[in-house]
Chain A
Amino acid sequence: MTDETALCVQVDISDRDIFEAMKEISGYLDITPGDFKEVYLKAYRHALERLVGSVVAQDIMIRKVVYARDTDQLKAAAAKMSAAKVSGIPVLDDQMRVVGILTEKDFFKEMARGVASNFMDVISNCLNGRYCLAAPARDLLVSDVMTKSVITVSPKTAAMEIADLLSRKGINRVPVVDESNQLLGIICRSDLMAPQVKIK
């Protein structure tokens, strides 16, 4: 029964619970509590897969997406992100196709380039007035800094698959695009919490 441990939701059902339930059914049940438990756990996993598999990207994605154009000034994009209180936004070209993603990490990488190796270096340099690391970035464009190899999903991608993708790639959000790579929405980690609650 080792494969049951792979369940995201652990089912806490004991042989005793099953024994008591069997007592409530009159008539002889031709199965041991142990076998029933095995059936139950497998059935539960099938139900879980069915439920989670039935929720797809378009059911949970945010449709009003804050985004930047690749030709935008980096500082404008920063202001946009700050105003929207988001830590990452997709970057679109003039055809509204997703060409990249711009996150806090990209800013940090750009600003820390060669001078700082971690976040506290940046803070320390700034507080001690030694060097304002943001300054060299002032004249850059979004396309100079963004992550170009952007991972996207289709509107029909299962929520479970997306959750797996996020944790596997170590990312926090993924744009949802149509066949021509046009932006339809975005899914963040938090949108994947209890997704079945959100459908109708």
Chain B
Amino acid sequence: MPKDIYDVVVIGSGPAGLAAAIEAKKTGAEDVLIIERDKELGGILLQCIHNGFGVEILKEDLTGPTYAQRYIHEIEQLGVELLLDAFVLDLSPSRHIYAISQWSGFAELDARAVVLSMGARERTRAQIRLRGTRPAGVYTAGTAQRFTNVEGYLPGKRFVVLGSGDIGMIMARRLTFEGAKVERVLEIMPFLTGLTRNYVQCLLDFDIPLQLRHTVKRILGNHRVEAVEAVQVDEKWQPIKGTEEVIPCDTLLLSVGLIRGQQESRRCARSGDRRPVRG
């Protein structure tokens, strides 16, 4: 069971949370606890099996899980306590924490300091006002990444990726490795939104076409995605009539940006002693 009181409680164990816990311990905090919702430490790093991590800090080119493991190792050596497969239901302004897990049950604890490092959420189809039907086969790039890299399942065989963000391009390459066909990456802006490095290594090298100033006008298919209708847009992001093109596919991946987690943090902090905060 977790203790009643900690010097520092870190919520979330992605790169930020791991680093915060390590630094807290190194700079003198006695009791440090990480609360993580997954069964292992590392956060989204665990599903980022591509390389490119650690280049600046460690001067090594590592995959996400390997990079995370370096810090996890340090966490273990420093004796940071862990509450895994757990969830913080509420956090009061006086830093009283209500957390649950299968192992600990319903736990209440206090912290002298709390680090909120809960990461971000991906923008969804509604947030970019995608029209059309609501079939199976519309996934955010991160969800598809989890299915592919952690669960070991391909979410589809024929993809269109909306958005030229880094996760989208990296997933386009990853899915191609797995034998899936990525028909197109569509980007509504007149420029690439991810890194040029990823454009070269993930799209150009694998002959995956990128269309700038293009978006998805609507999704087709009642049960599973059957196609998307792509369209070119003008300077004001309005669809240009006559440029519609129906692209047959079974999956639409959305890589259209992240929402910062601060909204949750803010609510978490101001919720006081009310009932559990709801997202």
Query: A and B: real partners?
Result: no
